[in-house]
């Protein structure tokens, strides 16, 4: 059953759904029968409402620059939808028989503002991309724009945070539904005391977490959360650690009826960036549990805090690994690692060391900072490899997407791809 580009409110799957991390399928809670609200603001609809639409014709693949160490995905050429900036990679690897397929959802900015796009690859290094909006279920390019609904939480920008796969016996060809957790920002400006106004990694506007659903990973329909703006939940009350905003929702399946969301905010009371956790039974309604990782010790690379965390469950021992963007007191961003046995509490830093540094070359594409990590574990043929995709910022403020690799179970030795 092919779903339309925009889900109507009558679309309400009621059978048990399976969260999948291909090639494995994992059990999950049923999609609640009482939940019926979806926003009629798919990419196609939002695109038609823009005053200066981009051509909907299929865009030819654009080459990705690999001229700089670590860089695997640069900005697109003008007038592409992502010609000004790219970042926030969400990378998934799918293996079926002898076929290997990689998808990357990412944030892009062009002349018409912020959007989310998708690129594909056969090896996770060389990517095929599109300069305009997608038109078919196997196309590449722009897939979701910021909302045109004045009341929505995502009118200023949208950025992907995580993608989960659900499978249901009611859905066939291809038989899977993608859930996109994303950061949406409103027009309400955000100022963080002591932050560099030129810091491109932090939210510029008040941000909240959102959810969209797609059958093909290209055509998305926003799902209204419990907040009046359509967000999954609101920022915290005055005095709480997440009172300013809630951004970068990364979701991990723990077990049946137990999903965990890791998101970040700026803790005004303690003056640092921090990562918190929320739990859900259905992936839509969330209960906050509080802050789990804050600032590092004095003099550390993350003395000003942690943000943009990506949590994965280690296939080898079941522990939880968190790759996060550490912020120094000078504002430089590096990537660190923390580990927890249950993913809920007692997070400890991985030796208090940086796992990925900015380039030491002043002219390097990522010399100003690295962050927004996406961590993947690949276990095949008795071997183990970890890939770290990340956003890099150069001295001129130009952003790109890079990759680093660590072979074996030791994660402290990531090397940028060459």
Instruction: Please give the torsion angle defined by the CA atoms of residues 185, 187, 188 and 193, in that order, rounded to the nearest 10 degrees.
Output: 70
Q: Give pLDDT tens digits for 207-258.
A: 999 999 999 999 999 999 999 999 999 999 999 999 999 999 999 988 888 8
The upper half-sphere exposure of residue 282, i.e. CA atoms within 13 Å in the direction of its Cβ, equals 15
CA angle 143, 211, 266 (to 5 degrees): 110
Q: Give pLDDT tens digits for 7-41.
A: 322 233 333 344 443 333 333 322 332 333 444 34
Average pLDDT over residues 107-119: 96
Task: Give dist(CA 29, CA 73) in Å, integer.
Answer: 36
Cβ pair 340, 346 in contact under 8 A: yes
Indicate the domain borders of the chain. Answer: 82-348
Q: What is the CATH number of domain 82-348?
A: 2.115.10.20
pTM, to two decimals? 0.83
Q: Give pLDDT tens digits for 48-67.
A: 333 333 333 333 343 344 34
């Amino acid at each position: 059953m092919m779903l339309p580009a925009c889900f109507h409110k009558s679309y309400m799957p009621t059978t048990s759904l399976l969260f999948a991390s291909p090639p494995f399928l994992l059990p999950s809670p049923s999609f609640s029968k009482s939940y019926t609200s979806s926003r009629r603001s798919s990419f196609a609809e939002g695109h038609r409402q823009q005053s200066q639409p981009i051509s909907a014709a299929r865009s030819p693949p654009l080459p990705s620059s690999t001229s700089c160490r670590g860089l695997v995905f640069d900005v697109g050429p003008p007038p592409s939808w992502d010609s000004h900036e790219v970042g926030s990679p969400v990378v998934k690897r799918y293996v079926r028989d002898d076929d290997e397929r990689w998808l990357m959802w990412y944030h892009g900015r062009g002349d018409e503002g912020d959007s989310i796009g998708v690129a594909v690859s056969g090896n996770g290094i060389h990517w095929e991309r599109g300069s305009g909006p997608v038109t078919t279920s196997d196309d590449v390019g722009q897939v979701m724009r910021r909302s045109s609904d004045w009341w929505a939480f995502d009118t200023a920008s949208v950025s992907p945070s995580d993608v989960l796969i659900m499978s249901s016996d009611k859905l066939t060809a291809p038989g899977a539904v993608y859930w996109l957790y994303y950061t949406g920002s409103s027009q309400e400006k955000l100022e963080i005391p002591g932050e560099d106004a030129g810091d491109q990694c932090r939210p510029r506007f008040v941000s909240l977490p959102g959810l969209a659903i797609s059958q093909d990973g290209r055509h998305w329909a926003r799902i209204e959360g419990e907040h009046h703006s359509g967000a999954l939940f609101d920022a915290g009350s005055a005095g709480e650690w997440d009172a300013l905003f809630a951004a970068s929702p990364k979701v991990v399946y723990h077990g049946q009826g137990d999903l965990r969301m890791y998101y970040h905010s700026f803790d005004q009371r303690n003056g640092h960036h921090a990562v918190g956790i929320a739990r859900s039974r259905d992936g839509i309604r969330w209960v906050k549990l509080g802050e789990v990782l804050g600032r590092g010790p004095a003099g550390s690379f993350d003395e000003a805090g942690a943000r943009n965390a990506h949590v994965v469950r280690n296939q080898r021992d079941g522990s939880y690994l968190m790759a996060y963007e550490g912020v120094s007191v000078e504002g430089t961003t590096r990537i660190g690692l923390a580990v927890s046995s249950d993913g809920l509490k007692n997070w400890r830093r991985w030796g208090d060391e940086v796992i990925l540094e900015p380039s030491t070359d002043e002219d390097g594409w990522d010399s100003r900072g690295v962050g927004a990590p996406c961590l993947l574990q690949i276990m095949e043929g008795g071997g183990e490899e970890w890939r770290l995709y990340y956003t890099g910022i150069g001295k001129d403020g130009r952003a790109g997407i890079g990759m680093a690799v660590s072979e074996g179970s030791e994660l402290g030795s990531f090397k940028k791809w060459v």
